[in-house]
Amino acid sequence: MEIVLPNHKYIFQREFPIEDLEYYTKHHRLKLYIKKGFICENCGVVCDRLIQGKPQKCQAYHTDLYNKDLTRMLTVGHIIPKSKGGKWVLDNLRPLCHVCNTKEGTCIARLCADPLLFDAHLNGKTVKRMSGKPFVNGNETAIINRVFISKHNKGNKHKDMFVFGFSDNSQTYPANKVCFID
């Protein structure tokens, strides 16, 4: 019987002992798990089965970590999303199961809402406007030093929006409209 694995719909080929993960020290994704663990940092699912799968339409093999019943695959989550300028560096990466990573998407709301995450990952970072235009004061970049929620009316709906404040105190700007550059 053919077992289809979640996320990329790979066909199960074989399982390796988890100790074999050390063999993959040059593989970026698997190297992250060696350093940061086999647990989704969001939901806590343990993915400690090293499984080799094969895409249905090609001959290449792919090795990933899955949970006990093969329903969740571990992926690499960016703390600051790539679309917002987040880099592929260890400090900006964390293990997430494919379900949590998909839910999180490119949203930075969790970083803004949690003071500890804000201080660890956003406070003091340099940003530029995603539109490419300078800020109101004419500067191309700004340094974040605070975040707050702004109430916005959009039609008949009231919407909370995260807004960054900057170290020069001259302005604020919507958090979803900036890109991180450091």
**Is 71 a member of any domain?**
yes
Phi and psi, residue 97, nearest 5° = -70, 160
Could you say which of 51, 71, 106 is where a domain stops? 106
Residue 168 inside a domain? The answer is yes
Are residues 80 and 135 both part of a single domain?
no
Give pLDDT, residue 124. Answer: 94
CA 34 to CA 79: how far, in whole Å? 18
Is residue 172 assigned to a domain?
A: yes
In contact, 116 and 61? CB cutoff 8 Å? no
Tell me whether residue 26 is exposed, middle or buried, using C-beta atoms within 10 angstroms of its C-beta: 0 to 12, 13 to 18, 19 or more.
exposed
Is residue 5 in some structural domain? no
* Same domain, residue pair 84 and 100: yes
Q: Are residues 61 and 143 in the same domain?
A: no
Domain total for the chain?
2
Cα distance between residue 142 and residue 126, in whole Å? 6
Are residues 125 and 88 located together in one domain of the fold? no
Same domain? For 99 and 20 the reply is yes
**Which residue in the block uniquely carries the two structure tokens 């989550």?**
77
Decide if 3 is inside a domain: no
* Residue 4 is assigned to a structural domain of this protein: no
Whether residue 129 sits in one domain with residue 87: no
Does the residue 2 lie in any domain?
Answer: no
Are residue 36 and residue 99 in the same domain, yes or no? yes
Q: Do 101 and 117 fall into the same domain?
A: no
Query: Residue 150 is part of which domain span?
Result: 110-180
pTM over 0.85: no
Q: What local confidence, expressed as pLDDT, does residue 1 receive?
A: 67
Specify whether 28 is located in the same domain as 83.
yes
* Residue 25's pLDDT band (cuts 50, 70, 90): confident
Q: From CA 12, how far away is CA 122, in angstroms rounded?
A: 40
User: Residue 153: what pLDDT?
Assistant: 67
Looking at the structure, do residues 33 and 101 belong to the same domain, yes or no? yes
8 Å CB contact between 158 and 167: no
Q: Which of 46, 72, 106 is a domain's end point?
A: 106
Res 104: pLDDT: 87
Which residues does 104 contact at the CB level (< 8 Å), separation at least 6?
A: 42, 77, 96, 110
Q: Which of 89, 106, 123 is the last residue of a domain?
A: 106
- In this structure, what DSSP letter does residue 43 have? T
Q: Same domain for 132 and 152?
A: yes
- DSSP states of 7-30 as a string? TT-PEEEEEE-GGGGGGGTTSHHH
Looking at the fold, whether 99 and 173 belong to one and the same domain comes out as no
**pLDDT tens digits, one per residue of 26-76:** 788 888 999 999 999 999 999 999 999 998 888 788 899 999 999 999 999
